[in-house]
Chains A and B, each alone.
Chain A
Amino acid sequence: MSIQIDLNQPPFSFLSEPQRQWLTQKLDLVFFQAGQVILDQGQVSPGLYIVYKGVVEESDGNGQVFSQYGREDIFDVRAVLESACKHRYTACEETLCYLLPSKDFIQLLNDSDDFSVYFKTDLGTQASLVEQRDSGGSVSEFILARIDDSSMRSPVYVNGQTNLARVAQMMHEQKYDAVLVRTAKGVGIVTGTDLLKATLMADKTKQSKVAEIAQYDLITVEYGEFLFSALLKMTQYHIERVVVTLDGDIVGLLELMDMLSLFSTHSHVIAMRIEQSRTLDELVVAAQRLDTLIRSLAGQGVKVEAIMELITTLNRRLLQRAYDIIFPQRLRDRVCIVVLGSEGRGEQILKTDQDNAIIFQHEHEREAVMPLLNQLHQALLDFGYPPCPGGVMFINDSWINTAEGWQAKVGRWLGSGAPEAMMNMAIFMDGEPICGDKQLFQRVKSRWQQEELRSSMTSAWFAKPALQFETPLTFLGKIREDDGKIDIKKGGIFPLVHGVRALAFEHAINDTSTLKRLDALIERSILDEEVGQGLKDALLLFIRIRLKQQLQLHSDQPGLSQQLDLAMLRSVDRSLLRHALHRVKKFKQLLVNHYHLENF
């Protein structure tokens, strides 16, 4: 007999086919009338209920609602595992549930490790299990792969005194294309191409010492970094291998050819295109490919964290390349272009609007630079980044200033305490310098990291907007939907990101990404490990679910949509979302207590 619920989604997808077959034979069907109590506090649950139709509400005896369960949701795992029910479960409307008897559920837990891990672990592990299962391809594993022994070759060293003929002999015999050279100057590298050039195009002979032609400014990557960051370095420097170091020691070589055989051609091609573009038109072509790349990575189930990192790198290279093309050499180090907002935090995936600012070294550069800025702005439009509706762009007067001017502005913003000034500060605080002289931004940044500007009053004013939108849970504690939709930015992402930003501001934490800020807050014991980790999980979940729905939209600017259609979510995601929103709600309460916002 077939069952009217989809068992091919988590947690049931963790079961083997025979286990699922077995499960369907164990299910009974129970019909509840509206208002009927299905399970009450202290009651022993006959088993696990899986909602087929209807809505079930979880509450305490006093009417406080914790959660709602709809189609394919499961309850109450705890009552089965812990022998008694902590809350009351009521059918809000006529509800049909499949019932898996306790003993059969426990049998499945014993028979399947994945299944039991899913039920017995916290939200983060649940989410990652779900993500793992979602990913099918091997490409994703590669993107996620870090540089380790399997991807690199062990280095071969020669003495600096070795002659070129001997080196060539060695390379030929051992099939190496590059060797490391140990000399008094340090370690250098010599490749087959170097040997050819030296003997055929320069005046070196077979007997010349290899130390003379070795190159010493090695391009290195750290053992354990993402493979694609090595790839980006190779394209950036036009080289075909990088040296892998571990705690400063060389441990291996990473070859482009080895990587290409593994790497998703898409991201590689785009990175290459960006690096090799000589005109803006060529960049536009590369920029247009980004969305396809995101689509394919997401489709392959690559973790959202990895996609975010890859896209951030590519976005920034894109801006930098455009800058190099537009700005003449002599002006390049006189300004600093800063990306702000989500782009600054490295949390943008699909293109949203432009958020950026510029810092001049001297006011008198303004006249020469303005036309160039307009060109750069136009280039960004062509790349597909729409203009910022709030005008936070380096073509607008309020986002152009000298370092000194910015310092003064930051002081005024923080001194005023006005909501608008505080939001400007928040946007600016996420800035990341991308083009030009990055020191200029550091000078401005050090201004708000000084103690006297971060009085407790200012910090509180700064934190306050985190509370301006209601969590779509606060109303009675269930997911509140407007026409089946919630605004995930207002309801989840913004309060979380801004709250973390406020704490980072208060404690002068230098990082811009929310995840890194959370790490820093945990490290300094400002947040509990558990709270911090929970918020990281929640943010990644919001971004992942939003991206998934954005990709299903057929609009020109899917990146701008913040609406989540709850009906489109798989039940497991809905349940994770509920948990994550609860975390945000608790975090907001923590902010209220911490900043005494109840007085504002």
Chain B
Amino acid sequence: MRYWLRRQMPGFLPPEGRWRHLGEPYHGDEVVVLDCETSVFDKRKGELLSVAAVVVKGQEILLSQALDLTVNSNAKTDENAVRVHYLRREDRSAGVSAAEAVEKVLDFVGNRPICGFYIEYDRAILNRYIKRLYNFKLPNRFIEVSEIYVSQKRRYIPEVQLDLTFEGLAKDLQVPVIERHTAIGDVISTALMYIKLTQFER
């Protein structure tokens, strides 16, 4: 395993010590749906402003145990981004530090698969922080909701024109969009899409 990882991602070690369990294979039936909001939409520069995650077990979204964190970041927010996520600097001052947020996310996620909409972005953001703090990258399995969507659609109608925006997916899957662009709202909608795509007979 370690050998394989080293080959896959040269220069990085799998998680050690406190985070060792993240690297262990997962056998349960739960996934964690996750979403981050950042100061600018940029993998390398975007600073973490809020992060939300929720466990999905079968058809159930365990809202009562949801993770919903606001990060006390001083990052200057792009005016357009504020208009998207509505997190002003003032709203963030009550939040936790980025390091604390990342620690909580790792505790919450464990070795479960992580699912999201355009999850590559969230993965990159989190990995940037984790690498700096603990010197590893998330070893978890990642599930891209839009990918499942595309493969399901293509299976039936290969040449169909797909609207791969978040709203487009929600509309086509008839899933309610809850508080768009708050991390937790996006997480719930994404979780609904995931349940619908994986659990419901199509």
Interface residues of A (CB under 8 A from B): 1-2, 4, 25-33, 52-53, 94, 96, 98-99, 101
Binary flags per residue of B182-202, CB closer than 8 Å to A gives 1, else 0: 001000100110011001110
Q: Are B176 and A96 in contact (CB under 8 A)?
A: yes
Whether B8 is near chain A, meaning CB under 8 Å from some CB there, is no
Whether B178 is near chain A, meaning CB under 8 Å from some CB there, is yes
Whether B62 is near chain A, meaning CB under 8 Å from some CB there, is yes
Decide: A28 near B60, CB < 8 A? Known: A1-B184, A4-B178: yes
Q: Are A99 and B60 in contact (CB under 8 A)?
A: yes
Decide: A1 near B68, CB < 8 A? Known: A31-B196, A33-B200, A96-B176: yes
Whether B161 is near chain A, meaning CB under 8 Å from some CB there, is no
CB distance from B31 to the nearest CB of A (A): 14
Which residues of chain B have C-beta atoms less than 8 A from A25's C-beta? 64
Q: Which 4 A-B pairs have the closest CB atoms?
A: A29-B61, A33-B200, A31-B195, A30-B60
Q: Are B192 and A31 in contact (CB under 8 A)?
A: yes
CA distance A29 to B63 in the complex (A): 6
CA distance A26 to B63 in the complex (A): 8
Q: Are A53 and B176 in contact (CB under 8 A)?
A: yes
In terms of DSSP, what is the predominant structure of the interface of chain A?
A: strand
CA distance A52 to B201 in the complex (A): 22
Given contacts A33-B200, A94-B200, 13 further A-B contacts (CB under 8 A): A1-B63, A1-B184, A26-B64, A28-B62, A28-B64, A31-B59, A31-B60, A33-B59, A33-B196, A33-B199, A53-B176, A96-B176, A101-B64
Whether B179 is near chain A, meaning CB under 8 Å from some CB there, is yes
CB distance from A44 to the nearest CB of B (A): 16
Closest chain A residue, CB of each to CB of B57 = A28
Which residues of chain B have C-beta atoms less than 8 A from A96's C-beta? 176, 192
Which residues of chain A have C-beta atoms less than 8 A from B176's C-beta? 4, 52-53, 96
Whether B66 is near chain A, meaning CB under 8 Å from some CB there, is yes
With most chain A CB atoms within 10 A of its CB, the pick from B62, B64, B188, B192 is B64
Whether B174 is near chain A, meaning CB under 8 Å from some CB there, is yes
Q: Are A29 and B200 in contact (CB under 8 A)?
A: no
Q: Are A29 and B60 in contact (CB under 8 A)?
A: yes
CA distance A393 to B50 in the complex (A): 72
CA distance A2 to B178 in the complex (A): 10
CB distance from A49 to the nearest CB of B (A): 12
CB distance from B67 to the nearest CB of A (A): 11
Query: Could you tell me which residues of chain B, from 51 to 65, have a CB within 8 Å of some CB in chain A?
Result: 59-64
Q: Are B59 and A32 in contact (CB under 8 A)?
A: yes
Q: Are B201 and A33 in contact (CB under 8 A)?
A: yes
Which residues of chain B have C-beta atoms less than 8 A from A99's C-beta? 60
Closest chain A residue, CB of each to CB of B179 = A2
Q: Could you write out 28 A-B pairs with CB less than 8 Å apart?
A: A1-B63, A1-B66, A1-B68, A1-B184, A2-B179, A4-B176, A25-B64, A27-B63, A27-B64, A28-B61, A28-B62, A28-B64, A29-B60, A29-B63, A29-B188, A30-B59, A31-B59, A31-B192, A31-B195, A31-B199, A32-B59, A33-B200, A33-B201, A52-B176, A53-B176, A96-B192, A98-B63, A99-B60
CB distance from A458 to the nearest CB of B (A): 58
Q: Are A31 and B61 in contact (CB under 8 A)?
A: yes
Which residues of chain A have C-beta atoms less than 8 A from B178's C-beta? 4
Which residues of chain A have C-beta atoms less than 8 A from B68's C-beta? 1
Closest chain A residue, CB of each to CB of B187 = A1
Closest chain B residue, CB of each to CB of A104 = B64
CA distance A33 to B197 in the complex (A): 11
Closest chain B residue, CB of each to CB of A101 = B64
Q: Are A30 and B66 in contact (CB under 8 A)?
A: no
CA distance A98 to B176 in the complex (A): 14
Which residues of chain B have C-beta atoms less than 8 A from A53's C-beta? 176
Which residues of chain A have C-beta atoms less than 8 A from B196's C-beta? 31, 33, 94
CA distance A32 to B195 in the complex (A): 9
Closest chain A residue, CB of each to CB of B62 = A28
CA distance A106 to B80 in the complex (A): 46
Which residues of chain B have C-beta atoms less than 8 A from A30's C-beta? 59-61
CA distance A33 to B178 in the complex (A): 19
Closest chain A residue, CB of each to CB of B176 = A53
Which residues of chain B have C-beta atoms less than 8 A from A2's C-beta? 179
CA distance A96 to B170 in the complex (A): 14
CA distance A96 to B184 in the complex (A): 17
CB distance from B115 to the nearest CB of A (A): 14
Which residues of chain A have C-beta atoms less than 8 A from B66's C-beta? 1
Closest chain B residue, CB of each to CB of A38 = B59
Closest chain A residue, CB of each to CB of B195 = A31
Closest chain A residue, CB of each to CB of B54 = A29
Which residues of chain B have C-beta atoms less than 8 A from A31's C-beta? 59-61, 192, 195-196, 199
CA distance A340 to B195 in the complex (A): 61
CB distance from A365 to the nearest CB of B (A): 71
Closest chain B residue, CB of each to CB of A30 = B60
CA distance A28 to B195 in the complex (A): 14
CA distance A52 to B66 in the complex (A): 18
Closest chain B residue, CB of each to CB of A98 = B63
CB distance from A528 to the nearest CB of B (A): 44
Closest chain A residue, CB of each to CB of B174 = A94
CA distance A25 to B65 in the complex (A): 8
CA distance A263 to B29 in the complex (A): 66
CA distance A96 to B63 in the complex (A): 13
CA distance A29 to B195 in the complex (A): 11
Closest chain B residue, CB of each to CB of A1 = B184
CB distance from B44 to the nearest CB of A (A): 30
With most chain A CB atoms within 10 A of its CB, the pick from B68, B174, B184, B200 is B200
CA distance A4 to B188 in the complex (A): 11
Which residues of chain B have C-beta atoms less than 8 A from A27's C-beta? 63-64
Q: Are B63 and A28 in contact (CB under 8 A)?
A: yes
CB distance from B178 to the nearest CB of A (A): 6
Closest chain A residue, CB of each to CB of B196 = A31
CB distance from A93 to the nearest CB of B (A): 9
CA distance A32 to B178 in the complex (A): 17
Which residues of chain B have C-beta atoms less than 8 A from A26's C-beta? 64
CB distance from A56 to the nearest CB of B (A): 14
With most chain A CB atoms within 10 A of its CB, the pick from B59, B188, B191 is B59
Which residues of chain B have C-beta atoms less than 8 A from A28's C-beta? 60-64
CA distance A14 to B32 in the complex (A): 35
CB distance from A71 to the nearest CB of B (A): 11
CA distance A387 to B156 in the complex (A): 64
Which residues of chain B have C-beta atoms less than 8 A from A33's C-beta? 59, 196, 199-201
CB distance from A598 to the nearest CB of B (A): 45
CA distance A33 to B62 in the complex (A): 18
CB distance from B185 to the nearest CB of A (A): 8
CA distance A101 to B63 in the complex (A): 12
CA distance A30 to B64 in the complex (A): 12
CB distance from B69 to the nearest CB of A (A): 12
CA distance A31 to B56 in the complex (A): 11
Closest chain A residue, CB of each to CB of B192 = A31
Query: Could you tell me which residues of chain B, from 146 to 202, have a CB within 8 Å of some CB in chain A?
Result: 174, 176, 178-179, 184, 188, 191-192, 195-196, 199-201
CA distance A4 to B59 in the complex (A): 18
Which residues of chain A have C-beta atoms less than 8 A from B61's C-beta? 28-31
CA distance A52 to B184 in the complex (A): 17
